[in-house]
Amino acid sequence: MKLSENLKIIRRDNNLSQEQLAEKLGVSRQAVSKWESGQSYPEMDKVLLICKLFNYNIDELMNENVKVVEETKESTSIVNKYAKDFFSFITKTIDMFSSMKFKQKLKCIIEECFMFCLIFLVFLLIGAVGDYIANNVFGTIFRDFYYYGLRNILEAIYIVFSIIAGTTVFLHIFKIRYLDYYEIVKENVEDSESIKEEDKDKEIKEDKDNKKIFVEKKKERVIIRDPNHSSSKFLNGLFNLVLAFIKFVVICLGLLFVFTFVSLCTLLVLSMLFIKTGMLFVGTVLLIIALLIANFVILEILYDFIVNRKFNKVRVGVLFLVSLIITGISIGLILIGFADFEVIENNDNTFTMSDEYVYKMKEDFAFNTYNCAYRYIETDIKDVKIVVNYTKYAKCYVHDLNHGIEIYCGSDELKTIDLIKQIIKDINNKQIKDYPYVAEVHIYASKENIEKIQENNDKRISNEYEIQRQINENENLRDKIERLQNTIDEQKEEINNLRDTIRQYEMAD
C-alpha cells in the first residue's frame, strides 16, 4: 500500500483534519493534501515524526497496510492481556493464601468446596430436567434419530457448557468473595499506615480541661466489590464464551419457534376445511391467531437477545395481553361449538370387516397378537377357529407359523386418505365417531384346547425370555474373554520385556 493511502487511514482513524495533522507535523495544510494525493512525499524527518506520533515503523508506514497492522497489533494485545490477566489472577491467589492465617485458609477452602458442590448439584439438576424434557419432546417426535445420535451430541455439548459455565461462576464467586476483598483491605491497611505518618491527617481538639490533644482523622471509605479497575479479562473472556453458548442455545430455540410459527400458519389454512362447524371453526381460528401472536412475540424477544437489542416492553406486554384475551374468547367459542356435537359410539365403522381361520389343534399350538384385543370362547369343536374382526380402515396380517399363528393389525395406508375425508365429513356434520385401527380376535376351542393353548403361550414367552437371557450371558462372556485376552497380551509383552532385560544383563556380564 502507498504512503499516501496510509496517511489518509491514519488521519481518519485518529479523527484529525488535514489542518490538525499539519499543525502536529509543523507543515501547511497544502503539504498534507499533496502527500495524501501522491503529488509529493514528506521529508525523512517528517516520516520519522509520523512514525513516532502514531506508533508505526518506517516499513509499516511505507510498504504495508497500516489498518491491517493495527488490527494485528490489537489482536496480539488482546491475547497478551488475557494471558497476563490469567497469570495475574494466579499470582494474586497465591499472594492471598500466603498472607492468610491457617484458620482463614481453612475457612476459604471449606467455603469454596461447598460452593463447588452447590454449583455441581445445580448443573446436575438442570441436566436431569433438560434430559427429561428432551426425552419427552425429541424422543417422541424423532425417536430413532434422537436416541442413536442427537442425545449423545446434546449430552456432550451440555457437559462442555457445564464445565465452562461452572468454572466461570466458581472463579467469579471466589474473586468477589476473596480476591477483591483482600485487595481492598490491603489498600486500606496501607492507607491507614500512611495516615499515621502524615501530620496533615491529624486535627486538634480540646477536652474538658482545655487541653489540646491530637486526634487521628478518619476517612470515609466505600468498599465496592469487583470494581471496574479490578475487572478480570480472564473471567470476562469466560463470561463471553458462556454468553456465546447461551446465544447458540437461544438460536436453536428460535428455530424451534420458527417451525411452530410455520406449523400454526399451516393449521390456520387447514382450519378452513371445518368452516361448516360454525362456532367451533371461529373459535379454532381465533385460537390459532392468538398462538401466532404469542409465538411472534417470543421470536422477537429471542431475536432482540441474540442481537443485543432492547425490546419494547410496552408493545410486548400489550401483544401478550391481546393474545391472552383472544385465547379466552376462542376457548369459550370452542366449548359452545362442541355443545352441538353428537357422540356416536356404535357406528358403522366399528368392526365392519371379518376374517375366519380354522386350524387343527397341535401339541405345540400357540398364537401371538400385536395391536389386537383377544378373548377365548369355549365350544365343542375339536379344531381351533379364530375370527378376526376389524374396520374397513384397518388391515390385518395373519402369518401361519409351524407352531401356530401370528396376527398383526395396523392402519391400511391405501385407505388413510379415505379415513381423513370421512373424519372431515363427520366433523362438518357435527358428529364424533370411533375409527378404531385395532382388531378384535375371538378364539373358539374346547376347554382342554384353550388350556393347552394358554400353556403353550406361557412356554413361548418363557422361551423368549430364556433365549434373551442366554444372548445377554453370551455377550457378557464374550466381553470377559476379550478382557482376559487383553490381559494375556499385556502379560506376554511384559515377559518379553523382562527377557530382553535379562539378555542385556547377561551380555553386560
Instruction: State the average pLDDT over residues 175-197.
Output: 55
Mean pLDDT of the chain: 77
Query: Rounded CA gap, 395 and 370, in Å?
Result: 12
pLDDT band (50, 70, 90) for residue 283: very high
Q: Which grid coordinates are listed for 87? A: 497469570
395, 421 in Cβ contact below 8 A?
Answer: no
Cβ count within 10 A of residue 348: 10
Instruction: State the average pLDDT over residues 210-239.
Output: 46
User: Is 266 a residue whose pLDDT tops 80?
Assistant: yes
In three-state secondary structure terms, 26 is coil
Give 229-290 as a DSSP string.
Answer: GG--HHHHHHHHHHHHHHHHHHHHHHHHHHHHHHHHHHHHHHGGGGGGGTHHHHHHHHHHHH
pLDDT band (50, 70, 90) for residue 77: low
CA-nearest of 398, 395, 416 to 407 is 398
CB burial of 182-215 (b: ≥16 within 10 Å; e: otherwise) equals bebeeeeeeeeeeeeeeeeeeeeeeeeeeeeeee
Instruction: State the average pLDDT over residues 423-440.
Output: 78
Query: Rounded CA gap, 415 and 408, in Å?
Result: 17
Provide the pLDDT for residue 44. Answer: 82
Cβ count within 10 A of residue 374: 14
Provide the pLDDT for residue 167. Answer: 83
pLDDT band (50, 70, 90) for residue 63: low
Instruction: State the average pLDDT over residues 421-439.
Output: 79
User: Is 395 a residue whose pLDDT tops 80?
Assistant: no
Angle subtended by helix axes 279-306 and 313-338, to nearest 10: 160
Domain boundaries, the chain: 3-76, 100-231, 252-340, 353-462
Query: Rounded CA gap, 165 and 423, in Å?
Result: 52
Query: Rounded CA gap, 440 and 373, in Å?
Result: 5
Query: Rounded CA gap, 440 and 354, in Å?
Result: 9
Instruction: For CA atoms 143, 146, 151, 154, give the dihedral sign.
Output: negative
Detail the DSSP E strand segments found in 413-491: 431-433, 439-445
In three-state secondary structure terms, 403 is coil
Determine which of 200-214, 298-312, 492-506 has the lowest per-residue pLDDT on average.
Answer: 200-214
Determine which of 135-149, 302-316, 463-477, 485-499 has the lowest per-residue pLDDT on average.
Answer: 135-149
Provide the pLDDT for residue 353. Answer: 75
* Beta sheet of 394-400, edge-to-edge order: 366-370, 404-411, 394-400
Pairing of strands 212-216, 342-344: unpaired
Q: Which of 365-369, 370-374, 422-426 shows the highest mean pLDDT?
A: 422-426
Bigger pLDDT: 121 vs 193: 121
Cα angle 220-100-102, degrees, rounded to a multiple of 5: 135
CA-nearest of 232, 222, 115 to 179 is 232
Query: Rounded CA gap, 394 and 195, in Å?
Result: 95
Provide the pLDDT for residue 211. Answer: 43
pLDDT band (50, 70, 90) for residue 297: very high
Chain Cα centroid distance, residue 367 = 47
Query: Rounded CA gap, 488 and 483, in Å?
Result: 9
Provide the pLDDT for residue 258. Answer: 92
Bigger pLDDT: 239 vs 303: 303
pLDDT band (50, 70, 90) for residue 509: low
pLDDT band (50, 70, 90) for residue 332: very high
Query: Rounded CA gap, 156 and 480, in Å?
Result: 29
485, 478 in Cβ contact below 8 A?
Answer: no
pTM over 0.75: no
166, 124 in Cβ contact below 8 A?
Answer: no
281, burial (CB in 10 Å: exposed 0-12, middle 13-18, buried 19+):
buried
User: Is 265 a residue whose pLDDT tops 90?
Assistant: yes
pLDDT band (50, 70, 90) for residue 264: very high
pLDDT digits (tens, 9 = 90+) for 140-165: 666 667 677 777 888 888 888 888 88
CA-nearest of 428, 498, 91 to 272 is 428
Instruction: State the average pLDDT over residues 222-249.
Output: 59
In three-state secondary structure terms, 27 is coil
Instruction: State the average pLDDT over residues 80-105.
Output: 75
Provide the pLDDT for residue 323. Answer: 93
pLDDT band (50, 70, 90) for residue 429: confident
Provide the pLDDT for residue 291. Answer: 94
Provide the pLDDT for residue 1. Answer: 52
102, 109 in Cβ contact below 8 A?
Answer: no
At the second CATH level, the architecture of 3-76 is Orthogonal Bundle (1.10)
Query: Rounded CA gap, 463 and 111, in Å?
Result: 58
Provide the pLDDT for residue 49. Answer: 85
Provide the pLDDT for residue 202. Answer: 42
